[in-house]
Every structure is written in structure tokens, then in C-alpha cells.
Chain A
Amino acid sequence: MSTRVLTEFDLLLPASLEEALDMLERERSAVTVLSGGTDLLVAMKAGFKTAKAMSLAHLRNLDFLAYDSGSGLRMGPRTTIAQIVDSADVKQHYPALWQAAKIFATPQLRNTATVVGNLLRGSPAGDCSAAVSALGGTLVMASAQGRREVHVDNLWVSYGVTARADNEMAVELRIPAPTKGTVSAFRRLTRVNEDLAKLNVAACLQLDGSTCTGARLAMGCVAPTMIRLPSAEAVLTGATINDDTLALAAEAVQQDISPIDDQRSTAEYRRAVAGVYLKRTVQQACGIA
């Protein structure tokens, strides 16, 4: 193990999507797909072994980012976090995603890391994963056999394991367009800005005046995967957003989370701050922070 020397592997550099899908069909679990590689290279330097890695660097037109007020946001598997930060459309229509991207890692890593890579890493700490979970995104998976859609609610199976089959590659992420009354926000707790989260939260609410008619809440670093918060969502849905309901939602979060002690924080601390962070995130989304 060394942070200087990468373990040995064969690098596949497909020149087209068809070639990439053929390679995946042939190689299956022998190959690890890397997009930005900012997680995978660290993992490989820390001892993760893969016989083959497939880079998407030579694939064209997979770094698109397009917003349409009807169909919503579309991005490719090579679309970087920096592109999200630079997008006025994302900033205006998807505050949770923009806020997550804005404080994601460091400027250099934002220029390389991708949103889709963040989702498929399957880490419970992914900042963009929290945002996309709250915003209800859908990944389009392609294989030599065809395409299918995987909603973010069905994406994370267990720690580091996703619903992506080993012959599949994500080719697009779609996030529905906000409607009148859709608000969202993201917050993260770290020791210093560059750190991975001790805890992160994203909230997307549908508001009718001050009444919440729908809520998608996602929290990271409190379970083996990024999770939705069904108990807290149930408290907020149909309720007026005020100090009382927020206090109830903050309390309900305790039923949804199962944090552990690790190098970045403790279960006890995460339990203590989870409700507070949820409350502040919802307030931020509703503009009452």
C-alpha cells in the first residue's frame, strides 16, 4: 500500500460507447469503470485491486448538462462537479444540488470528479448523492442488451454496492423539473471544508403556502448507504412548516438512522446533530433559515 504507487491493472480506453458496452459485456466484474477516478484512484492506492479499469476519458459527448423547464435536468457520466457549480440553471432550479457541488471537495477535484461517479461509488457520504436522492433523480443504465432506468430510491443496495449490473454503464442522470412551490437545500457537517462529511442532509419539499404537500429528505453518513428519512418525511407531509413541526421531524429522524463510530465522527455525535441538521436544512430550503 502506497499513496505514490498504484497497484497494477490493465487500462481499457474505449473510443465509443458501443465499444465500452462490448468491453463490459465481455469483461463483466473483472473491470472497474472510472469516470473522474477521484475515488477509485485513492481506493487503489489504499489497496483496492482490480484486474482492469475502464476509463471513459476518450468517449465523446458524455459531459453534457442541459435543463428544460418541462423535462428537467439531464447530465452525462462525464459531467463534472465544476460544471454543476458553473450552471446558472442548476443554481436556480436545483439549489440542493448546486449547494452540494459548491462545497464538494476542492477546486481541483471538482474539475475532475463527476456527479454520476459520486452516485455509483455507493458511499453513504456522497454530497451530490444526498442532493440527487432528495431531488428524486433517475439513472439511465446502458448495456449491450439495451437500456433501463434506475430511480435513485432503488440505486444503493448496501455499502459500495449499487443496482448497476456488471455489464452496465450509466449514460445519463435525469432530475425532474421543479414545479411551483418546489424548494430544496443541502447542508454538510465537516471539521474543515475539504473533509468528507461527518453528516450531510438534503431536503426537497413541495410547498403550498407554508403547508408541505410532499417531502423527500436524504441523509448521509448515518447508515450503510445514503438513506431517505421516511419517519421525518411523514411528519412534514401535510404539515405546516413551523418550529413545532420541525422539532417533531427532528425527533422522528432518530427512527430512520443507524449511525456508527468511524474515523470522522461517532454514532453518539451523529445522533445528536442529525435532527438539528435536518431542521436547519428544511429551514434553508424554505428560506426561513
Chain B
Amino acid sequence: MSKHFVTLNVNGEDHDVVVASNKTLLDVLRDQLNMPETKYGCGTGECGACTVLVEDFTAINSCMTLAATMDGRKITTAAGLQKGNELHPVQQAFIDKAAVQCGYCTPGMVIKSVSLLAKNPNPTEQEIREGLEGSICRCTGYLKIVEAVDAASKAMAGTVG
């Protein structure tokens, strides 16, 4: 099996890693870079627990992405959203609205919400619900999550990212 040398820029920091051809970005983040905040859910691109951002705001399933194809790419996980000690407005809104039950979907849900708001800073409730398709909360706590995204969009009004 082939091995590949790649540099992954994760949360602003370059990481040089040798990855086997069959390792997904999720595998490498969790097992080689010890960044467990990105979760393994279904492994087939349906649940969104593994969602990360590439090149700023494009949300992808890291379980469906071969790590060897990501050389030189900029990746943001949920742990990379805060600036210093200040949480990202989306993270703060998830706390304020208690949009967390078991918490397993939360990193992917937060990342997805950041992506959604970057594209559409003032989404309607319907647009939030559509934008969050592909991220599944198995506790089914969607109402609080939608409220949190709405609150974050208001908190972020006039800012970028």
C-alpha cells in the first residue's frame, strides 16, 4: 500500500505527516494528530459528525476524504474556531441556547453552522434547517440548534467569519 508525505495546515498550524493511502482525513486528524474533537459517526457521509472546513468555509465530510489528497490544504476543526480565549459566536450561541444534548454531533454541527453563516449571514429558519441537512443529531435536539444558529447570525451581524 502506498504512503504519502503531506503537509496539512490544521487550525493555522502546519503538520507534516506520512499517511497511508487508505487513511481518511478523519483517521489522520484523530489517530495521527491527536485531535479527537472531530467525530466518527456513520463513516459514509450521512451524519456529518466528521465535518471540517477546508480553505476557510467549505464544509466537507472528513470521513469521505483521503488524507493523501489534502496536501497543502487549510483545514479547520471545531477546536480551531476560537480566537485565544474567546469562543466563536457560534460556539457561544450553542452554549447560551443549550443546543447540546449528548454532544457527539456538536463539533460537526458547529462547524457546519459556521460554514452556513459564512455563505448566508442572515438565514431564515427554513434556510438554517436546509443548511444543516447532512448533520444529524441523534438526540433530535434540532430546535435548540436552529435557535443557536439564528442567535449566532444576529451576534455576528456586521462581522466576517
Q: CB distance B45 to A108 under 8 Å?
A: yes
Q: Is A10 an interface residue (CB 8 A)?
A: yes
Instruction: Flag if B134 contacts A11 (CB, 8 Å).
Output: no
Is A271 an interface position by the 8 A CB rule?
Answer: no
Within 8 A of A (CB), among B88-118: 112, 115-116
A1 to B57, CA, bound (A): 33
Pair B22/A37 contact, Cβ less than 8 Å: no
In the bound assembly, the distance between CA atoms of A269 and B43 in angstroms comes to 30
Residues of A within 8 A of B63 (CB): 3
Contact between A3 and B44 (Cβ–Cβ < 8 Å)? yes
- Please choose the segment from B64-72, B74-82, B137-145, B147-155 that sits at the chain A interface, where 4 or more of its residues have CB less than 8 A away: B64-72
Residue ranges of B at the interface with A (Cβ–Cβ < 8 Å): 1-2, 4, 21-24, 40, 42-46, 48, 51, 58-61, 63-66, 68-71, 112, 115-116, 131, 133-135
Residues of A within 8 A of B (CB-CB), count: 30
Given contacts A9-B21, A10-B21, A38-B64, contact A108 B1 (CB under 8 A): no
**Docked complex: A79-121 residues within 8 A CB-CB of B:** 82, 105-109, 111-112
Query: Are B60 and A108 within 8 A (Cβ)?
Result: yes
B84 to A: closest C-beta gap in Å: 28
What string of 1s and 0s marks CB contacts (under 8 Å) between A1-29 and chain B? 01111111111010000000000000000
On whether A10 and B2 interact (CB within 8 A), knowing A3-B42, A37-B66, A112-B60, the answer reads yes
**B136, closest chain A residue (CB):** A194
**In contact, B69 and A106 (Cβ under 8 angstroms):** no
Q: Which of A38, A55, A108 has the most CB of B within 10 A?
A: A108
Neighbouring A residues of B134 by C-beta, 8 Å: 105-109, 194
Of A5, A41, A45, most buried by chain B (CB within 10 Å of CB) is: A41
A-side contacts of B24, CB under 8 Å = 6, 41
Distance in Å: Cβ of B159 to nearest Cβ of chain A = 22
A→B interface (CB under 8 Å): 2-11, 13, 37-38, 41-42, 45, 53, 55, 57-58, 82, 105-109, 111-112, 193-194
By a CB distance below 8 angstroms, the chain B residues around A112 are 60-61, 64-65
- Roughly how many angstroms separate A104 CA and B49 CA in the complex, as a whole number? 19
Question: How many Å lie between the Cα of A194 and that of B132 in the bound state?
Answer: 11
A268, B160: Cα distance in complex, Å: 52
A222 to B44, CA, bound (A): 25
Query: Are A8 and B1 in contact, with the CB atoms below 8 A?
Result: yes
Q: Do B4 and A13 touch (CB < 8 A)?
A: yes
Q: State the Cβ distance, B20 to closest chain A Cβ, in Å.
A: 8
The residue that A37 contacts in the complex, of B4, B65, B112, with Cβ under 8 A, is B65
Q: How far is the CB of B130 from chain A (nearest CB, A)?
A: 8
Task: From B51, B59, B64, name the one whose CB has the most chain A CB atoms within 10 angstroms.
Answer: B64
